[in-house]
């Protein structure tokens, strides 16, 4: 029977010299110097230790073993002649008296070198994720994730929240993304849905009399991947509070998150309470984004009246926004690349000019601005060496492009970005409704279960045609950190009459509400408390803490950009017998 190790591969020090020990792990590297001399690097979860083979018997034990085989080494600790100050165990080595092969690696060639796996093609890394995770650098992100989740649980429990799990198999409901559907074998033609979020269940818990709920909740959405969003599934710190409003939710997270970010983050500085609160309309106007990076000190200025009629074609009849950057030293080549990158991301081209060291307007669209030079310099308070980035289009498009331009200018101008900190803010007063891009009709902008500012009265006026629904804001809020949206939340609409009126504006009557949300509607009719909640994304949170650009780096077994698990070969075909049991027929598209 295998006997456990006496020490880990990161544990032995000078005080262990002369002791007999047993260590186990993966054979990371072997360097043979002679017929009876070899240096073996043994790696386990905790670190590495050098093993020095000096006898014919021990050489025979490792001869022919491929890297990444698992072995057990029994031997004596001694001081190294040539020490390695870069390793915690660099002062010692183990001279083996017994080597046992525990798990042989049967491949001479690995798909990539484990210690440099992050340099490998991502598809290879995902296919051989179990090898990728052996890389201490990759593994450390998963350890960080575990520590952060543990800290979140402890903090929420300390604040009086109960951890309650909610169902994974539930009913499909319109929550903004595509559902993952699960066929119900016992109910032919009907389907469960994997929850996009525990939204309805947590509100029902409030109605059931639980005062404070949370869970590290799995959520499932059939969405395309991007840098800060994993396709398929993700996890969030889901929470809800009864007899509570917006300020109560803010107070909890402002107390819970900063210490965790300061302790576990790449940067040790995090915003302290209270976080800055920015109305949605102001965020779009001042920062060009509803998830502004407050580490950047640049802001957006409306210059439509100032230069909108200067004769430059793209400005005519459009909104024009400007970002003023002092002490700008980029070259023309860098400016061209900046503009190209912004156009790719925003879908709209930015423009520019600068005030040179002689105080003259030059570069970019300067020739269209010469007649208004003095007015422009005075209005924007320009100094020599100042760059002005410009965007134009319909108001929303000009704002969006300005937001992208602001972020990229901040990244290329260290004097305008305090990068090494976590800057939190709340975006509040989101629009309740918007015009859908595909439908062209009025739709909910965020969460349909949010309480409108103005309650039933404002909805009555909108239904009567006295108020434009697009002007109605809601008690909806986003938590933003360093330009990343961590979560959305809201004060919930707990009054069934107000709920029906809110849905009437998007062409759904009381019968529709009862049919789509029967449990919630009926529960609210039995007397529901005012309640509010939020759900910060755990994956995005850990991504920020680790300083990673891709969310896949902090997920143990992520899917690729096409929502495929290359390691498990999922999604995959199933046997016809399984389809028959589920009453499912596969219809192939015509060629």
For residue 367, give the CATH number of its domain: 3.30.1360.30
**Residues 128 and 258 occupy one common structural domain:** yes
Decide which of 355, 389, 416 is a domain's last residue: 416
Residues 221 and 327 in one domain: no
- State residue 1's pLDDT score: 43
Q: Is 292 left (phi over 0), alpha (psi -120 to 50) or beta?
A: beta
Query: Has residue 497 been placed in a domain?
Result: no
Burial level of 526, CB count in 10 A (0-12/13-18/19+)? exposed
Which DSSP string corresponds to 313-382?
GGGTTSEEEEEEESS----HHHHHHHHHHHHHHHSS--EEEEE-TTS-EESTTGGGTGGGHHHHHHHHT-
Say if 506 falls within a structural domain: no
Q: Give just the sign of the alpha carbon dihedral 278, 279, 280, 281.
A: negative
Q: Are 176 and 196 in contact (CB under 8 A)?
A: yes
Mark whether 60 and 168 lie in a shared domain. no
* Boundary (domain end) residue, out of 416, 450, 485: 416
CATH number for the domain spanning 74: value is 2.40.50.140
pLDDT at position 395 is 95
Could you give the C-alpha distances from 180 to 122, 414, 458, 562, 577, in angstroms and in order? Answer: 25, 43, 36, 15, 22
Residue 393 lies inside a defined structural domain of this protein: yes
Backbone angles phi, psi at 15, to 5 degrees: -70, -10
Structural domain boundaries enclosing 360: 296-416
For the stretch 556-585, pLDDT in tens is 999 999 999 999 999 999 999 999 999 899
340 domain residue, yes or no: yes
* Residue 214: per-residue pLDDT: 98
**Is the separation of the CB atoms in 495 and 456 below 8 Å?**
yes
Q: Which of 390, 416, 442 is at the close of a domain?
A: 416
What is the pLDDT tens value at each position of the chain, 591 positions in all? Answer: 456 899 999 999 999 999 999 999 999 999 999 888 999 999 999 999 999 999 999 999 999 899 999 999 999 999 999 999 999 999 999 999 999 999 999 999 999 999 999 999 999 999 999 999 999 999 999 999 999 999 999 999 999 999 999 999 999 876 667 899 999 999 999 999 999 999 999 999 999 999 999 999 999 999 887 767 788 899 999 999 999 999 999 999 999 999 999 999 999 899 999 999 999 999 999 999 999 999 999 999 999 999 999 999 999 999 999 999 999 999 999 999 999 999 999 999 999 999 999 999 999 999 999 999 999 999 999 999 999 999 999 999 999 999 999 999 999 999 999 999 999 999 999 999 999 888 889 999 877 889 999 999 999 999 999 999 999 999 999 999 999 999 999 999 999 999 999 999 999 999 999 988 888 899 999 999 999 999 999 999 999 999 999 999 999 999 999 999 999 999 999 999 999 999 899 888 765
In a domain, 448, yes or no: no
Q: How many domains does the chain have?
A: 3
CB 129 within 8 A of CB 557: yes
Q: Per DSSP, which regions of 92-168 are E strands?
A: 92-103, 162-163
Do 61 and 102 form a contact (C-beta atoms < 8 A)?
no
Domain co-membership, 98 together with 127: no
Residues 90 and 36 in one domain: yes
> What six digits make up the tokens of 452?
């409108």
Query: If you average pLDDT over every residue of the chain, what do you get?
Result: 94
pLDDT of 524 reads 94
544: part of which helix (H) or strand (E)?
helix 538-546
Residues β-bridged to residue 434: 443
**Cα gap 133→328, rounded to integer Å:** 42
Residue 555 DSSP label: S
Prior bond of 571 cis (ω within 30°): yes
Are 255 and 271 in contact by the 8 Å Cβ rule? The answer is no
In a domain? residue 348: yes
Q: How far apart are CA 400 and CA 388, in angstroms?
A: 17
Q: Say which DSSP state 117 is in.
A: G
For 449-473, write each residue's pLDDT tens digit.
899 999 999 999 999 999 999 999 9
* pLDDT at residue number 516: 85
Q: Give yes or no: residues 130 and 264 share one domain.
A: yes
Are the C-beta atoms of 452 and 431 separated by less than 8 Å?
no
| 326 and 258 fall within a common domain | no
């Amino acid at each position: 029977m295998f006997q456990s190790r006496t020490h880990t591969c990161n544990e032995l020090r000078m005080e262990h010299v002369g002791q007999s020990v047993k260590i186990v792990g993966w054979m990371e590297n072997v360097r043979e110097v002679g017929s009876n001399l070899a240096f073996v690097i043994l790696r386990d979860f905790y670190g590495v230790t050098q093993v020095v083979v000096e006898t014919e018997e021990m050489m025979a034990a490792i001869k022919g073993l491929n890297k990444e085989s698992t072995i057990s080494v029994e031997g004596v600790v001694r001081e190294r002649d040539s020490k390695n100050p870069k390793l915690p165990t660099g002062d010692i080595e183990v001279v083996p008296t017994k080597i046992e092969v525990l798990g042989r690696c049967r491949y001479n060639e690995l798909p990539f070198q484990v210690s440099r796996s992050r340099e490998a093609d991502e598809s290879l890394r995902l296919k051989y994720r179990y090898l990728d995770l052996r890389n201490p650098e990759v593994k450390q992100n998963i350890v960080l994730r575990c520590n952060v989740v543990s800290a979140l649980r402890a903090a929420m429990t300390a604040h009086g929240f109960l951890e309650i799990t909610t169902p994974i198999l539930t009913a499909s409901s319109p929550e903004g993304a595509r559902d993952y559907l699960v066929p119900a074998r016992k109910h032919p033609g009907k389907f469960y849905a994997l929850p996009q979020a525990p939204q309805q269940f947590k509100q029902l818990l409030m109605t059931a009399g639980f005062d404070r709920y949370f869970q590290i909740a799995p959520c499932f959405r059939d969405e395309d991947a991007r840098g800060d969003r994993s396709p398929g599934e993700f996890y969030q710190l889901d929470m809800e509070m009864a007899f509570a409003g917006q300020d109560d939710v803010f107070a909890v997270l402002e107390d819970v998150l900063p210490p965790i970010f300061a302790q576990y983050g790449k940067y040790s500085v995090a915003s302290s309470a209270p976080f800055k609160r920015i109305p949605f309309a102001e965020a779009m106007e001042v920062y060009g984004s509803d998830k502004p990076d407050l580490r950047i000190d640049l802001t957006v200025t409306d210059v439509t009246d100032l230069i909108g009629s200067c004769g430059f074609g793209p400005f005519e009849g459009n909104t024009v926004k400007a970002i003023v950057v002092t002490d700008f030293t980029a070259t023309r080549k860098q400016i061209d690349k900046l503009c190209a990158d912004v156009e790719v991301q925003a879908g709209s081209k930015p423009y520019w000019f600068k005030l040179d060291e002689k105080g003259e307007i030059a570069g970019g669209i300067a020739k269209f601005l010469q007649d208004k030079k003095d007015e422009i310099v005075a209005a924007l308070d320009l100094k020599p060496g100042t760059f002005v980035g410009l965007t134009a289009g319909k108001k929303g498009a000009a704002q969006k492009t300005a937001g992208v331009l602001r972020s990229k200018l901040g990244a290329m101008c260290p004097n305008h970005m305090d990068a090494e900190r976590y800057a939190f803010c709340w975006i509040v007063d989101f629009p309740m409704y918007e015009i859908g891009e595909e439908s062209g009709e009025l739709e909910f902008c965020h969460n349909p279960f949010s309480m409108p500012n103005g309650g039933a009265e404002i909805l009555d006026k909108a239904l009567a045609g006295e108020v434009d629904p697009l002007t109605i804001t809601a008690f909806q809020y986003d938590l933003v950190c360093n330009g990343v949206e961590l979560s959305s939340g809201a004060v919930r609409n707990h009054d069934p009459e107000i709920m029906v009126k809110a849905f009437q504006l998007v062409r759904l009557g009381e019968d529709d509400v009862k049919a789509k949300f029967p449990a919630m509607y009926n529960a609210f009719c039995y007397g529901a408390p005012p309640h509010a909640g939020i759900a910060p994304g755990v994956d995005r949170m850990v991504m920020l803490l680790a300083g990673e650009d891709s969310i896949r780096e902090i997920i143990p077994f992520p899917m690729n950009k096409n929502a495929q698990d290359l390691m498990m070969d999922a999604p995959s075909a199933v046997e016809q017998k399984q389809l028959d049991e589920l009453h499912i027929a596969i219809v192939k598209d015509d060629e």
